[in-house]
A = this chain, B = another copy of it.
Amino acid sequence: MQFELTTSYVDELKEAIANKNNALLKTRLLELYAADIAIVFNQLDVTEAHYLYELLDEQVAADVILELEDDKREELLSTFSTKEIAEQIDNMQSDDAADVINELPENIQDEVLSQIEDVDQASDIADLLSFEEGTAGSLMAKELVSVYLHDTVSTCIDEIRKQTDNVHVMYAVYVVDENHKLIGMLSLKKLIISHPIARLQEIYNKDVQFVKTSTTSEDVAEIMQKYDLVVLPVVDQLGRLVGRITIDDVVDVIREGAEKDIQRMSGISDDVDSNDRLWRLSRARIPWLLVGMCGGIIGSRIIGSYESHIQIHPEMAFFIPLIGATGGNVGVQSSAIIVQGLANNTLLGDKIAGKLFKELGVGVINGLICSTLIWGYAFMIESWKLAATVSISLFVVVLSASFLGTFVPLTMNRFKINPALATGPFVTTLNDIIGISIYFLVGRLLYHVF
């Protein structure tokens, strides 16, 4: 059932566009949902996309705009006049409209806003634009149905009927008092099964969860996930109902959050994807490479201080990569577990000591396994001194990497720094340096004593 994009499909469309074969194009477009049309658009150049766009039904066109990737949308919108953009935006929900305007070049934002015909829509969008990004205010839509306690079910249904064109998806109506303060809610299901002349105060649900406009998107996502909500009302500082957030927007927040964490863990400092420009990709990646290089230079100084030792025992150099890699791997594993626990809220703040002990326990077990194995190998192949050096220092390195991998993200979290930053080049670099220090220290001691 799901749409699969193939090269031949795209080629057929491109050809039809070149030949202005509108009959075929319209048939193809009718077969697709807006989300799929957007995927097709991503494969076309901007003139082709513009041509195809003009063939779309008004409402579908607005949906396609929303589903496009950011740079593709920017590109396509730049082929329209501000008047045309304003017309598109008139067909969107207020939250989506605000997102689109927000991404327009600053110099035309006001112009587009002023050309929106529906004054209410324009004012709603202007309201939404004033909220800071990453807050409930910036996520919410203004379209909702609110009713009063003394209303009956049938007046409530009339209200829904009036609003039906505005509010595309609806799962509940909200009950407000005379000051428009949120005091309850009513699911559509409850509304359907209630008698038409029943008063809302007899059937409404007082226990309504809500957030403030200033609540962060992450908290909104957490609340909606935790309590399995599909829609969450938003109130202002005075408790007045100002909007609602639907689960589809929050799903995007969750997905983007996970993606950002993966990028941070991989040492990518900016939100980029493989379709971004070369230079942006480079710039997002160079900072952590430089941090890693600084670590490498510090490592070179440490090894440098053992130069004469290496001259006599060049075999000491053999296991530098093994020590570094194992320390790095252990550190990444430990910190991934902690970062995840923090993201999940399965870690309570006051249990740091317990977690550290547990990680050290895992470190002892895995350290013993690794160092026993490497002892066996190095003892067979190299001298017993080198074998002892490698296995002893490997054990210590595994322990210290477990400790750091746990301690660093927990500490970062306490100081409100995103702990995912720790699970990448940072912990790896730190463990590299510490690993080498331990290895050469143990080596010099052992070779010196025996």
Contact = CB atoms under 8 A, between A and B. Distances in A.
A105 interface: no
Interface stretch (A77-85, A197-205, A286-294): A286-294
Contacts of A332: 266-267, 424
8 contacts: A2-B223, A224-B251, A225-B251, A265-B336, A268-B333, A285-B362, A290-B370, A311-B314
A223 B335 CA distance: 32
A164 interface: yes
A282 B365 contact: yes
Given A262-B261, A321-B320, A297 B377 contact: yes
A211 B2 CA distance: 9
B5 A326 contact: no
Interface of A: 1-2, 5, 7, 33, 35, 39, 42-43, 69, 157, 160-161, 164, 167, 169-171, 187-189, 191-193, 209-211, 219, 222-228, 230, 247-248, 251-252, 254-255, 258-259, 261-263, 265-268, 272-275, 278-279, 281-282, 285-286, 288-290, 292-293, 295-297, 299-301, 303-304, 307-308, 310-311, 314-326, 328-330, 332-333, 335-341, 343-348, 350, 355, 358, 361-362, 365-366, 369-370, 373-374, 377, 423-425, 428-429, 432, 436
Contact of A289 (B268, B278, B320, B366): B366
Given A192-B157, A373-B293, A247 B230 contact: yes
Nearest to A390: B300
A392 to B, nearest CB: 15
A167 B289 CA distance: 54
B227 A296 contact: no
Nearest to A5: B348
Q: Residue among A33, A267, A362 with the most chain B CB within 10 A?
A: A362
B321 A299 contact: yes
Contacts of A339: 262
Given A272-B337, A310-B310, A329-B425, A35 B267 contact: no
Nearest to A272: B337
A137 to B, nearest CB: 16
Given A193-B160, A230-B171, A346-B274, A300 B318 contact: yes
A405 B411 CA distance: 31
A377 B290 CA distance: 13
Interchain residue pairs A-B with the least CB separation, the first 10: A296-B322, A258-B258, A266-B336, A299-B321, A228-B248, A300-B318, A310-B314, A317-B317, A188-B188, A274-B341
A365 to B, nearest CB: 4
Contacts of A43: 348
A230 B227 contact: no
B297 A317 contact: no
A262 B273 CA distance: 17
Given A274-B347, A274-B358, A293 B370 contact: yes
Contact of A157 (B35, B193, B267): B193
Contacts of A192: 157, 160-161, 188, 191-192
Contact of A226 (B35, B211, B223, B333): B35
Q: Residue among A7, A303, A317 with the most chain B CB within 10 A?
A: A317
A340 B273 contact: yes
B315 A296 contact: no
A335 to B, nearest CB: 8
A321 B318 contact: no
Nearest to A348: B5
A188 to B, nearest CB: 4
A321 B268 CA distance: 21
Contacts of A160: 189, 192-193
